[in-house]
Structure formats: structure tokens, C-alpha cells
Structure 1
């Protein structure tokens, strides 16, 4: 995929994961696993499986040509399987007849998408955990530091910056839990054959599917999910929620970092956040990436949901539309997560400016209003809440490490 406009809004790892070469490599992992499993249950000869497995190396294929040919074929799987058969035939004429036996295009593509997605989710989880840790550290460090609480974009009362950070962390902890649970359900082998019945596998389809799941470290579903996309789209919805939660944090930080407010700012280093015309500017680029993701993700998720009414046993158009949206959603999700995971540990917090903003407001208000709503002692109650929330969130986040290991590559 082109990185000209995705590059600064995503990450090199995810761009590479969804590159033509990487995705075809994942498809070949499916074909090798299929041959291995079918040989184990006696559907194909062991010698044929060895020949097929030996040919399932992406460096043996003209990736760019296969990608070009997919436009005419209507699926990337069709030219790949054709080239795989040709490659196998060069070394074992009979083995070529066993390539892709009893499977269908959607089987190999959905399983490859699950493999690539799993690796991307592992990247997201690592960076998400870093972002959570940074916010919980900030919540502890600044538990008692007063800051203006704002409602409807106007000063409302005094809270503490630590309480605000705990509030930012909470949906990320919940999102991390939900993502792991959703991934453990959604990251499944797809193997159903032409109409989901595996009719060409002589009653051994369930065994083949279970062996492939163990080999590829994916879930072995009870049924083919060719047009039953609920668990897969559910994972997409969780990615959209994550992007939205990071967008919320980025919105707050970008507002607090405006020069006129000056309460926080992203970390700086040469080449980061500069302006092509104004050397004095410090642009909040991590917030920019997260806000861009929060703008893009809803459309991606909506497209996934819109594609769910799929025709009968295999879809015409809707599944293909879903495939086209999925990489962009993961690119946005990891782009936002990585950007904030790098910015939050070095977030510069100006507690003196926070106090000055409160005092300026107090001096402009009637004394009784200033005392009731903007007394600095209000931060103490918020501090107690913040510390309690940090304890709960830390325990919840740590428990996530030991459960639902569905995103482990």
C-alpha cells in the first residue's frame, strides 16, 4: 500500500503487514497448512504435501503480477493458487492436483487476514499498554495538582490533573480487555469449501480445520463464517472504539496545549511538530495522528457494518468491500495508539500555569462563586478519587496480561 499519506498517520509495521508481499506470504502459510493437515488425515499423499509445502515460499512468486492479475480474476486467491499449482508441477506433476484441495478463495483470504490482523493486534496491544502505563503514572504524579475542569468548553470548577489522567486511562484499559476477548473469538481459521460444507474432504473437514487451527495458532470455529461476520466485525467495532478513545485524549491535550491555555504540551525534539513557515510553532503531532484516526475509523466501521448483509453462502461485493476497508482501520488504530504511546510518557505538564489559569478566573468572579467552585481545596477530593481509580485500573490492566491471549502471534 502507498505510504505517502498513510505513513505519517500509521506505522511502518502495519504498512508492511498489509503489503502485497506480506499478505501473499500469509496466504501461502494457509496453503502449506492445508496440505500438511490433509496429509495427516490421509486425504492427500505425504509426498504431495511435502512438494506443496516446499513451494509455499513467497520469494518463488511474482507478487506484483499476481496482484495485477487479481483484478481480472476477481480475487487475489485465484492467480495465487494458479501460480502455486504451476510451481508445484515443476517438481511434482501429481502433487499439483492436490493444491488447494476442497478449499475456496475466501478460505485462504479470510485466514490470511486473520494471521496478519493477529500480528497487528499484538503491536497495538504493546503500545496500548505503554499508553495506559504512562497515563496511570501521570495520574499518580499529579493527583493533587489543581486544574480547571471545563464543561461545554467553559470553566466549570476545579478538579485535579491526576483525576483527568485517570479518566483518560479508564476507557483504554476497558478497550484493551475487550480487544483481547474479541480477538480470541474472531481470529479463526476459515475453512468451509465452496458453500461451507467441506463436501470435497470426505467427512474429514472438521479434522483438517482443527489441525490447521493448531498449526496456525488460530481458533478452530464450529462453522465456516463465510457470510456470518458477527465476530469479525465485532473486532472491527472494538478497533473503532479504541480510535475514538484516543481521539478524546488527543482532543483534550490539544486544547490544553493551545498557547493561550498552556497547561500541557507534547514532548519536543528536533524535527518534531515544526512548521514549514513559522519556526515558533510547536504542533501537537501525536494528537493530530490520533484525531485523524478518530475521524477515519467511524467510516471504516460503518462500512464493515454495512457489508454484513451478505448473500446466501458466499457474498457478491459486500465481502470484497469489507476486505478493502479492514487494513485502513487497523492502520488508523495502530497509528493513533503508537503516536500517543510515544507522546504520553514525555507529556510536559505545567502545574504553575494550571494554577495561574485558576487564579485569573477567581480574580474575575464574585468572591462567593470563586470560593464555592474554584477553591484549590477541591483538588483534594479529586486526588482521592484519582488514587482509587489508579489502583482499580492497574489491577484490571494487569489481569488482562494473563487472560484472552488471542493476540499472541
Structure 2
């Protein structure tokens, strides 16, 4: 999925997760699990299942050819299943007729997408957790550090940098919890056959579904969700909210790191954020990535919502549009989470510049306004008050923070 135009806005790991090879491997995992479950309940011969399972190895297939043929077929599943049947037939001709038995294209594609999404969510969770930990450490360290609060892009009064960091962390913690909850709801096996009835399963469909869910470590849904997209799209909406919360932090960092403000700075390393023409520049690269993600994610989420009115039992066009938008949303989410996790872990804070900016505003005001809003004693009082607030807030955030990344379905 990598592109010269957007590869730098994501991460190598998630680009690989949504690569053609990895996705086809997930589809083959579905086919192997299907054959294993069907053999265990007597729907297909054990020998046929062994042949199918043994052939569901991505190295045996021409991935590029299957992808090319998907354009004419209208689905990546059609050329894959065709190739799987042919390859199984080379070793066991009788077994080929049991490949993909009683299933349909959307079953294998949706389930593969759930498997790859689970992998992607685990990556996102790790980096969001890193960002949260960094923010809570900054909040504690700078709990009583006075800094200029700004409203409507103008100087307002005094706040604490620690309180600002706690305020950045809270939406990430809430978003992380919601993402994990939505993942538990949405990461389902898709298994309904042609019209969701599992008519070819001879009454054993629920058993096959349960066995596949246990094998693939996904949830067994009450209904085939071919056109019931609410839980899946809800997960997408939560990803959009997480990207927005990360983008808010990036916006503040980019503003506070401007030369004229100079209160914080993203971490420096050779070649990071450099300019081709102006060697003195230090561009806030992490903020760039997170802000680019926050500009793109809303359109992805809107496309998911727009695709929800899907026709009858299987959709024409809308489901295909949703599937095409999905990887980009997760790529943006991980790019943003990784960028912010790295930046916040090494964020450079200039306390003296924060105090100087406060003093510059205070000195330029009429005496009455200066006394009311920027008296040095007020800054000290704000520091004392916000230290207590930050301690309380960080304790609350830590208390509600979700479990470690392994809580995402594995």
C-alpha cells in the first residue's frame, strides 16, 4: 500500500500489514479455518481439509497476478479462490470441490480485513500508550510551570504547562478505551454464505462459525454482517476521533514551537525536520504527520458513513467503497500515533521562555489589566493551584486508563 506521496505519513509496519501479500495471507487463513471447521463437523472429508489447509500458504501463489485479475473479477476473492482450487487440485483433485464450500466472497474479505485490522489496532494501541505515558510524565514534571494561556489565538492569562499536558492526555485515554470497546464489538468472523442463511451448512452453520471464531480468535456474531455495518463503522468513527485528538496536540505543539513563541520544541536528531534550503530550520515533523492525518481522516470516516445504506443482503458499490477507504484510515491513525508518541517522549520544554512570554505580555498592558491577569504572584498562585489539579487529574487518568495492548483481541 506504500506510495511516494503518502508513505512518509504512515509507518512501515502498518503499510506491511495492509500489503497485498499480507492481506491475501489473511484470506488464506480464513479458507484454512473454514476447511478445518467443516471437516470437524463432518461437512467435508478430513482428507480434503488437510489438502486445503496444506495449500493455504501465500508463498504458493502469484500475488501480483491475483491482484491484477481482481479488477476484471470485481473482487480479490474470486481470483484467489480460483487459484486456490487449482493449486489444491494439483495435489488432490477431489479436494478442490470443497474449497470455499458454502462461503462467499464477502465472507473471506471481511474476515481477512478483521484479522489485519486487529494487527493494526495493536500497533496503534502501543503508540497511543506511549504518548499517554509521556504526557503524564510531562504533566507531573511541569505541574507548577506557569505558561501563557491563549484563547482565540491571543494571550489570555496564566495556566500551567503541566495542566495543559494533562488536558492533552485525557482525550487519548478516553479514546483508547473506546477503541478497545469498539474493537471487541467489531472484530467478528464474517460467515453467512451467499445471502446470510448458511443454507449449504446442513444446519451445522453455527457450529462451524463457533469453531472458526475460536480458531481465528475473532468474535462469533449473532448475524452475518454483510450489510449490517454499524459496529464496523463505529470502530472507524472511533479511529477518526483518535486522529482528531492527536491532531489537537500536534496543532498546539506546532504553535508553541514557532520561533516567535519558542516555548517547546520537538526532539532533534540528525536529518529530522531539516530543510533543503535553510539549514537553520527545525521543522516540527511529528506535528506535520499528525496534522496531515487529521486533515485526511474525516473524509475517510465520512465515506464509511456514506456507504452504510447497503442494498438488501449484499451491497453493490457501497461495501466496496468502504473496504477501499478502510486501510487509509488505519494508516493515518498509526502514522499520527507513532509521530506523537515519539515527539512527546522527547519534547523539549523551555521554562525560561514561557516566563519571558508571560512577562512580555504583562509589561505591555495597562497597570490595572496587568495586576488583574498577569501579576507575578498570580503566576505563582496559578502554579500552586494547578499542581494540585494536575496531581488529581493525572491520578484520575491513570485510574481509568485501559489495560495493556494485549487486551486488544489477539
TM-score between the two structures when normalised by the length of structure 1: 0.98
Is the 2:286–2:339 Cα contact (8 Å) retained in structure 1?
Answer: yes
Structure 1 residue 390: Cα displacement: 0.4
Is 2:385 the counterpart of 1:381? yes
> Unmatched 5+ residue regions in structure 1?
none
Aligned to 2:238: 238
Aligned to 1:131: 131
Q: Deviations over 1:11-56 (max 9, x none)?
A: 0011011111000000000000000000011100111000000000
Q: Deviations over 1:310-363 (max 9, x none)?
A: 000000000000011000000000000000111101000000000000011111
Is 2:202 the counterpart of 1:198? no
Is the 1:180–1:404 Cα contact (8 Å) retained in structure 2?
Answer: no
CA distance in 1, matches of 2:58, 2:406: 31
CA distance in 2, matches of 1:14, 1:282: 27
Considering only aligned residues, what root-mean-square deviation do their CA atoms show, in Å? Answer: 1.0
Structure 1 residue 9: Cα displacement: 0.3
What are the within-5 Å matches in structure 2 for residues 210-249 of structure 1? 210-249=210-249
Aligned to 2:147: 147
Moved over 6 A (4+): none
Q: Deviations over 1:121-154 (max 9, x none)?
A: 0000011100000000000000000000110001
Is the 2:126–2:405 Cα contact (8 Å) retained in structure 1?
Answer: no
Structure 1 residue 7: Cα displacement: 1.6
Is the 1:263–1:353 Cα contact (8 Å) retained in structure 2?
Answer: yes
TM-score between the two structures when normalised by the length of structure 2: 0.98
Is the 2:17–2:23 Cα contact (8 Å) retained in structure 1?
Answer: yes
Aligned to 2:91: 91
Q: Secondary structure at the match of 2:157?
A: strand
Q: Secondary structure at the match of 2:150?
A: strand
CA distance in 1, matches of 2:356, 2:191: 63
CA distance in 2, matches of 1:404, 1:130: 14
Structure 1 residue 367: Cα displacement: 2.2
> Unmatched 5+ residue regions in structure 2?
none
CA distance in 2, matches of 1:261, 1:112: 48
Is 2:79 the counterpart of 1:79? yes
Q: Deviations over 1:242-290 (max 9, x none)?
A: 0000000000000000000000000000010000111000000000000
CA distance in 2, matches of 1:201, 1:254: 57
CA distance in 1, matches of 2:382, 2:178: 34
Q: Secondary structure at the match of 1:5?
A: coil
Q: Secondary structure at the match of 1:94?
A: helix
Structure 1 residue 383: Cα displacement: 2.2
Aligned to 2:341: 341
Is the 2:184–2:409 Cα contact (8 Å) retained in structure 1?
Answer: no
CA distance in 2, matches of 1:334, 1:404: 17
Q: 1:35 to 1:333 in 2, by over 3 A?
A: same
Aligned to 2:55: 55
Q: How many residues matched?
A: 406
Is the 1:181–1:404 Cα contact (8 Å) retained in structure 2?
Answer: no
Counterpart of 1:390 (choices 391, 394, 399) is 394
Q: Secondary structure at the match of 1:185?
A: helix
Q: 1:19 to 1:256 in 2, by over 3 A?
A: same
Is the 2:226–2:313 Cα contact (8 Å) retained in structure 1?
Answer: yes
Q: Secondary structure at the match of 2:137?
A: helix
CA distance in 2, matches of 1:370, 1:191: 68
Aligned to 1:109: 109
Structure 1 residue 373: Cα displacement: 1.4
Q: Deviations over 1:60-90 (max 9, x none)?
A: 0000000000000000000000000000001
Is the 2:186–2:231 Cα contact (8 Å) retained in structure 1?
Answer: yes
Aligned to 1:186: 186
Aligned to 1:318: 318
Is the 1:3–1:15 Cα contact (8 Å) retained in structure 2?
Answer: no
CA distance in 2, matches of 1:242, 1:401: 17
